[in-house]
Amino acid sequence: MTAVIGGQGAAAAVQPADLQVAGRRRNRRRRTAIWIGRVALAVIVIGGWQWFTAEGWVDKFFFGQPSQIWNSLVTLFSRGTAFGSIWENLWVTAKEAFGGFLLGTLAGVVLGILLGSNRYLSAVVGPYIRIVNSIPRIILGSIFIVAFGLGTFPKVLLAAVLVFFIVFFNAFQGVREVDQNLIANVRVLGASPVQVARHVTIPSAMTWIIASLHTAFGFAIVGALVAEVLGAQKGIGLIISQAQGTFDPDTVFACMVIIAVVTLGAEFLISLLEHRLLKWRPPSRSEAPAI
């Protein structure tokens, strides 16, 4: 029994030390090669873009230029925008996206788990959910702006709607995939429906829900930005639509960069949460490099 657990140590002991050193060296070389490739790819794409626009093969009036985008970024942060400092605008957009993300996730998880565990409800509502899912929900932004004005609320709402469906479907599916043996097991042990949900259904669906959060946050940002483009008094989306009006692709690209950084940050936080909540999962096999 212990041999299974101690297997790794035993294997290492059998191997001569220099084999291990050679394996490590090869592993390090492989990682260096990967990083060289990554940097080269970035240099080729960004450098090529700069070069092509500088030579005039591609018109920088329409497609921007990396150096100009950098200048726009500097301007945005040093001189601010027509609607206040960039931080102020970024804060507004981030607030809307996070608000929508939280609202949509909460609603998605609750409804997904409720409908997933109730056969009758899911049968009744199922077709309607599918219909609503097939309409282009981003258009709802227009309606929200008209109905709720130019403030924060319609942006939060649009982001929440986009997030909701992603999280909802995953939670719903997650509940459906629960191991029926586990449920039978705890029911025989005398679990009430609430206990079945608490100990089996929700933890089991959590894998699916967490996986959906990565995509969901991207959609929260999209929702907030699009709603801002449609009509706002502040926010990155407003800066973008303003830049579009003044034929300034560099500022649009600069805003894209800013938003990308924010999204990567949020993505990182979600990954942390994922590691914490799903630490019981077996590590994936590919993480151990063969030597």
Partner 1 sequence: MLRNQSHRRPKGPSRVDQPAGIDIVGLTKRYLTPKGEAFTAIKDVTLAVEPGQFCSIVGPTGCGKSTTLAQVSGLEKPSAGSVTVGGTPVNGITDGVSYMFQADALFPWKTVLHNVMMGPILLGTPKREAAQLATDWIRRVGLAGFEDRYPHQLSGGMRKRVAMAAALINDPRILLMDEPFGALDAQTKIIMQNELLKLWEELRPSVLFITHDLDEAVALSDRVVIMTSSPGAVKDVFDVDLPRPRGNVQEIRHEQRFLELQERIWQSLKDEVTRAYARSAGAAA
Question: Which spans of this chain sit near partner 1 (rule: CB under 8 A)?
Answer: 1, 4-5, 179, 181-182, 184-192, 194-195, 199-200, 203-204, 206, 278, 280-282
The rounded distance, in Å, linking the Cα atoms of 153 and 224 is 10
Per DSSP, the residues of 116-182 read HH-HHHHHHHHHHHHHHHHS-GGGHHHHHHHHHTTSSHHHHHHHHHHHHHHHHHHHHHHHHTS-HHH
Q: Shortest gap between Cβ of 267 and partner 1 (angstroms)?
A: 23
Written as one letter, the residue type at 280 is: W
Q: Which residues pair with 81 in a beta bridge?
A: 84
The rounded distance, in Å, linking the Cα atoms of 75 and 173 is 47
Written as one letter, the residue type at 120 is: Y
Q: Shortest gap between Cβ of 278 and partner 1 (angstroms)?
A: 8
Q: Identify which of 175, 225, 168 has the alpha carbon closest to the alpha carbon of residue 197.
A: 175
Choose between 34 and 184: whose C-beta lies nearer to partner 1. 184
Q: Shortest gap between Cβ of 290 and partner 1 (angstroms)?
A: 21
Q: Shortest gap between Cβ of 287 and partner 1 (angstroms)?
A: 14
Q: Shortest gap between Cβ of 119 and partner 1 (angstroms)?
A: 15
Choose between 58 and 277: whose C-beta lies nearer to partner 1. 277
Choose between 127 and 283: whose C-beta lies nearer to partner 1. 283
Q: Shortest gap between Cβ of 274 and partner 1 (angstroms)?
A: 13
CB distance 108 to 162 below 8 Å: no
The rounded distance, in Å, linking the Cα atoms of 213 and 220 is 10
CB distance 162 to 101 below 8 Å: no
Choose between 191 and 257: whose C-beta lies nearer to partner 1. 191
Those residues whose C-beta lies under 8 Å from the C-beta of residue 89, and which sit 6 or more positions away, are: 81, 83, 234, 235, 236, 238, 239
Choose between 32 and 195: whose C-beta lies nearer to partner 1. 195
Choose between 161 and 178: whose C-beta lies nearer to partner 1. 178
Choose between 98 and 208: whose C-beta lies nearer to partner 1. 208
Q: Shortest gap between Cβ of 167 and partner 1 (angstroms)?
A: 19
